[in-house]
Amino acid sequence: EMGIDIWEVIEAAKTKPFGFTPFYPGPGLGGHCIPIDPYYLSWKAREYGLSTRFIELAGEINHAMPGHVVKRCVEALNETGKPVKGSRILLLGLAYKSDVDDCRESPTFEVMEKLKNLGAEIDYFDSHVPEVPLTREHSNWAGLKSVQWDEGFIRACDAVVILTDHNGVDYAQLSEWAPLVVDTRNAMERSDISSGKIWKA
């Protein structure tokens, strides 16, 4: 890794006085259209002998992001002397973007699967999605309920991973209660919270 903070890069780019629209990274793509529709264009372009390398490259990078998040979780836990196996990890946000109740194609599902496969105990908190609905690809999580926003519960977790930056979350409380935070949305810094126990992913 080059040690470049993408959030600092975006803030610097935003100083351009015109012609710039910021786009922010996250743990992967979700929703009902963006993860799928570009591939229709790519498929159609191939019928005409056209190359859509940027669409396919973007897809590869987006598809790799949940794995990157899990890698950062493992690194963060290792720094505290804990293996991921047996660790209790709270995933903050099941919806695919902030302040909605739509979890179609949410990257949180893939993060859940990967961490569970590594032996972690997984819970999630999302006031917009109180229960995991039945989905085609992640039916094994159907019926799982969001935990309550509770100091004792959060303090008992080994790590909290911010995957969706809902505006109703009290990030100052989270910083105080959680022993370790892995932040994929820069939510903590945007809330003016800095701490040695916050890892960016």
Positions marked catalytic = 33
Q: Which helix (H) or strand (E) holds 88?
A: strand 88-92
Q: 53-79 vs 37-47: helix axis angle to the nearest 10?
A: 140
What phi, psi does 131 have (nearest 5°)?
-150, 140
Report yes or no: 171 and 191 within 8 Å, Cβ to Cβ: yes
Report yes or no: 200 and 7 within 8 Å, Cβ to Cβ: yes
Give me 88's structure tokens: 């209790």
HSE, side-chain direction, 13 A CA sphere, residue 96: 15
User: Residue written as tokens 């939510």?
Assistant: 187
